[in-house]
Amino acid sequence: MKEIEIHSWLFVYKKWDELQRMPIPDKGFEDSFREYIYRKIKPDVMSNKSDMGFGLSYSSLSSVPHEVDVICSKGHKKLVFELKHYNESRITKEHIFTFLGKVMDFYLKNAESLSYYQQIIMYFVTINKNIDDSIRKLCLAYGIRLIEPSFKTLGTLSHFVGDLYQKIPENEPLKSEVENLIENISILRDTSDYTFSDIFMYKDGKIEIGEALIKIDINDVLNKIKKFNELFEEVLEKWKSKKS
């Protein structure tokens, strides 16, 4: 659901800076995001704060309860958010694997009932502006949407590049440059922008591992996303200079 990536990115990029900080450890980050995303996507169900049952009183395979920050259900999609209000502290691979491990522990115990959802989509949302490429690679490899203020996901890029395309007149040479970027982003999304449910699937009473993990070169995908982010900023600046 591309719109969720966009709203989540806008929250860490802009909205959070506009909000009043609360006198609690995360400054109110989780509560603010929870309220914001509820207003924006209007989910059918949203988990309670400090939920320990994957949004529906599920137990885990290990029988160890896990808190997941926000879980929403909308139609046949389950949206799972891990929120990290880390500005100075580093986001490490342990944070990513812990998030993945919690979801896996619930999924392995409840795969049959969770098969109701056509997609389980994981979002790791942070205000940290210094994310290492190793973290981006882990998230790409395991179908986790990494939402960070200084880097756009393919879904977010697709939205903003498309919006720019609509604003440029047909007779403007820059429009073909933007169109080419749209096409390249679309191709990469089709081949590599997968989710948890594209990797782990419940079929005929068994959990299967899809081919998504072995079909792509993570280094190549990340390099292309970085390039597309740079190209978008370049064409955006060109358009702004033409308008001024």
Strands 70-74 and 45-46, sheet pairing: antiparallel
Q: How far apart are CA 76 and CA 115, in angstroms?
A: 9
- The model's confidence at residue 142, banded by pLDDT at 50, 70 and 90, is very high
Across the range 4-8, mean pLDDT stands at 97
- The model's confidence at residue 214, banded by pLDDT at 50, 70 and 90, is low
Mean pLDDT of the chain, nearest integer: 93
Integer CA distances (angstroms), 183 to 8, 21, 48, 153, 157, in order = 24, 41, 40, 16, 12
pLDDT at 210: 82
- The model's confidence at residue 86, banded by pLDDT at 50, 70 and 90, is confident
Nearest to 201 by CA among 209, 211, 190, 192: 209
Residue 163 has which token pair? 């919006």
Give the amino acid at 153: T
Across the range 35-49, mean pLDDT stands at 94
- Domains of the chain in start order, with CATH, are 2-243 (3.40.1350.10)
